[in-house]
A and B are shown apart, each in its own frame.
Chain A
Amino acid sequence: MAVSLLPNVTTDLQLPIKTIDANLVLYIVLVIVIAYVLTYLLSFILVRFSERIGWYRTSVTMIIPLLKLLIYAFALYYIIIAVIEPSLTQIVAFSGLFGAAIGFGLKDLFADIVGGVVIIFEKPYQIGDKVTIGDKYGEVKDIGIRSTRIKTPADELVSVPNFTLFSQPVTSGNAGDLAMMIVIDLFIHPDSDAEKAMKILKEALVTSKYVIISNKYPYTVLLEDFPFYKRVRAKGYVNDLRLEFEFKSEVTRRAWTEFKKAGIQPPAFVPPSTDKGGQSPASR
């Protein structure tokens, strides 16, 4: 039985490949260019549109990667049918063989593409999120088929291969929301009035021009005692994650101005900062 089936399969897998001429090459180039321009235009329009709608900014940007995937899938489909004019059975059979054959040669590239598909559907992060991937922290500016572009606090645009998703932990500071929790630590002298410091820090937080407070976005102020200092910690949400550093700076500045008026002193021993230049919320 197996012997009789094998010749049939062999016959089915013979591809009706067209003659490759200048027209076909031009057609393929045109399809790729149209797909590229279309994805670029869609991204441009949707990103600009998202900037104007306030609360729902990330809801709009999250559909950009999906649209890109669809456009490139269609482009690939049109290229394949232009080259080999396959039947559905042949497409299914050869997509496996094609993937396997190229996968050996371009393993990393295909791993990145698979990573991109996983990012699109599983949504560990979205465009506009503040994420930490490996040791890189910043705002996701674009999720491409091969890589994710992150803008760091130092204004660097870092391309992180999508495959990193499978090998490194990924942290999203806001999970698709526009608001993001910020932790602000102030260290005071152990003899200072901690209760007063907590009240001042709380009021500096809730009167900030960047804060958002509701049942969904609560805030809290905590005190912890250490051998040589006390740590007053405020946790609150910034209304737009792009303003996280401005928020932290404003609350800190205003709180310290009031601390000085109230006679609250900084500690003699300053604990070493774990903040790597604003590299990661986890480190803060």
Chain B
Amino acid sequence: MAGEEKAGSEGYLIGYERELKTIAEAIEQSGSDTPSHIAIIAEPMGGRTTIVAEIRRLYGDRVYYLPLEFVIKQDALPDFTCLVNDIILIDNCQFLTTRVIGGFDVLDTFLRMQITSKKIFITTWNAHSWQYLSSVMSIDAYFPTIVALSKIDTPVLKQIILTRHKSGEIRFLDEGSAERSIFFSVIHRTVRLPFTSTEISVPWIKLNFFVMRSGLSRKKRVQISIEDIIFEKINRISDGNTGVAILLWDTSLKDNTISLSAITENSYSISLDTNESFILSVILSMESLHAKDLSAIAAGEMDIERVLYRLVQQDLVIDNAGYYSIAPFALKHVTDYLRKTRRLW
């Protein structure tokens, strides 16, 4: 979350203007009798914190802010009716549920309270958790306004990142024009042979998407700046995820200098059994879960310590003082794997 937190804390909002306008309109149009509750949905590190910070900045004292950081119990749910604020902003609402029998009771209570309240509820949700809850209990029916934060494009990412630095502060190191002056370049990639664990290095054609998309003539191609190529690479690796992209930028930046070779892409060879895939999907949906909550979800059906060890050992999950979350750079690979194996619907 480091990248996303940093982006949000600096008080700018680039790339989410349309989403913020939708939220503002929903708030303005909400009558006192028929509040239009809002759900903001995004993938992990996908920009929710930035939006939340902006809503708090725009609406100031009207907002009661409740960030959820872990799975909450029934008695921990505050009584919103006695608050003077007319906007209730609850961050990380996926923590209102947990994937066990009886794990939806808090959410049921919350939704009943929400639909009988005259206040406007703005809630943020992990996109995978939202999808699950929509399928299981049609949660989307409770929110007339649903704002899904989409993946960002390279120009927007460039703008977001460069705004964090002074003009001319960053030096983009040009290591040669070979990669940007042609449509593709030959690289060597390690490939795992099918049905075996052997890895071999094979020549691979790497497409230069930016140049191809630009459709520029050969003469003009050399005019594409190294800056654009670098941001294209960052956006491709981060799969349009703002938080991951900013984290990758911060990791690759050395002494205010960045080069293409400094931006490294991790490769993952994911091989998991049913229990490991399930726990991985739960962690992805909840973003961060304590070992105790994971043990409750496992409910004696599996050896949770072994499962967590395997996930951490494969660099898919990180253990932060007992709280488990998906490793930021593994996010895209984990999501793709879980979609392929039907753990995400």
Residues of A within 8 A of B (CB): 48-49, 52-55, 178-179, 200, 203-204, 206-207, 209-210, 212-215, 217, 239-240, 243, 246, 250, 254-255, 258
Report the minimal beta-carbon distance from A232 to chain B, rounded to whole angstroms: 14
| B103 close to A209 (CB less than 8 A) | no
Chain B residues with CB under 8 Å of A246's CB are 274
If A213-B135, A243-B274, A250-B301 touch, does A207 touch B341 (CB 8 Å cutoff)?
no
**Smallest Cβ-Cβ distance to A238: which chain B residue:** B342
Please list 26 pairs of residues, one from A and one from B, whose beta carbons are closer than 8 Å in the complex, sorted by A's number.
A48-B194, A48-B195, A54-B340, A54-B341, A54-B342, A55-B342, A179-B342, A203-B101, A203-B102, A203-B104, A206-B136, A207-B100, A207-B101, A207-B103, A209-B274, A212-B342, A213-B132, A214-B135, A215-B135, A217-B345, A239-B343, A246-B274, A250-B301, A254-B101, A255-B101, A258-B101
**B32 contacts chain A at the CB level, 8 A cutoff:** no
**B299 contacts chain A at the CB level, 8 A cutoff:** yes
CA distance A176 to B274 in the complex (A): 22
Report the minimal beta-carbon distance from A261 to chain B, rounded to whole angstroms: 9
Report the minimal beta-carbon distance from B208 to chain A, rounded to whole angstroms: 28
Chain B residues with CB under 8 Å of A213's CB are 132, 135-136, 345
Report the minimal beta-carbon distance from B284 to chain A, rounded to whole angstroms: 14
Q: Which residues in window 51-101 of B have CB below 8 A to A? A: 99-101
| A239 close to B342 (CB less than 8 A) | yes
Query: Binding site of B, secondary structure by majority: helix, strand, loop or mixed?
Result: loop
Give the A-B contact count at a CB cut-off of 8 A.
52
**B142 contacts chain A at the CB level, 8 A cutoff:** no
Question: Which residue among A206, A240, A254 has the maximum number of chain B CB atoms within 10 Å of its CB?
Answer: A206
| B342 close to A178 (CB less than 8 A) | yes
| A200 close to B101 (CB less than 8 A) | yes
Interface magnitude class on chain B: 20 to 34
Q: Which residues in window 327-345 of B have CB below 8 A to A? A: 339-343, 345
Residues of B within 8 A of A (CB): 99-104, 132, 135-136, 194-195, 274-275, 278, 299, 301, 339-343, 345
CA distance A207 to B102 in the complex (A): 10
**Smallest Cβ-Cβ distance to A203: which chain B residue:** B101
CA distance A53 to B341 in the complex (A): 8
Chain A residues with CB under 8 Å of B275's CB are 209
Chain A residues with CB under 8 Å of B341's CB are 54
Chain A residues with CB under 8 Å of B103's CB are 203, 207
Report the minimal beta-carbon distance from B162 to chain A, rounded to whole angstroms: 39
CA distance A250 to B340 in the complex (A): 23
Report the minimal beta-carbon distance from A86 to chain B, rounded to whole angstroms: 43
**Smallest Cβ-Cβ distance to B279: which chain A residue:** A209
CA distance A203 to B104 in the complex (A): 8
**Smallest Cβ-Cβ distance to B103: which chain A residue:** A207
If A48-B194, A200-B101, A207-B100 touch, does A240 touch B135 (CB 8 Å cutoff)?
no
Report the minimal beta-carbon distance from A50 to chain B, rounded to whole angstroms: 12
Report the minimal beta-carbon distance from A41 to chain B, rounded to whole angstroms: 13
CA distance A239 to B99 in the complex (A): 17
- In-complex Cβ contact of B345 among A209, A214, A250 (8 A): A214
CA distance A215 to B134 in the complex (A): 10
Report the minimal beta-carbon distance from A201 to chain B, rounded to whole angstroms: 9
| B101 close to A204 (CB less than 8 A) | yes
Known contacts A53-B340, A209-B278, A254-B101, then 10 further A-B pairs from the complex at CB < 8 Å, ordered by chain A residue: A55-B342, A200-B101, A203-B102, A212-B342, A213-B132, A213-B135, A215-B135, A239-B342, A255-B101, A258-B102
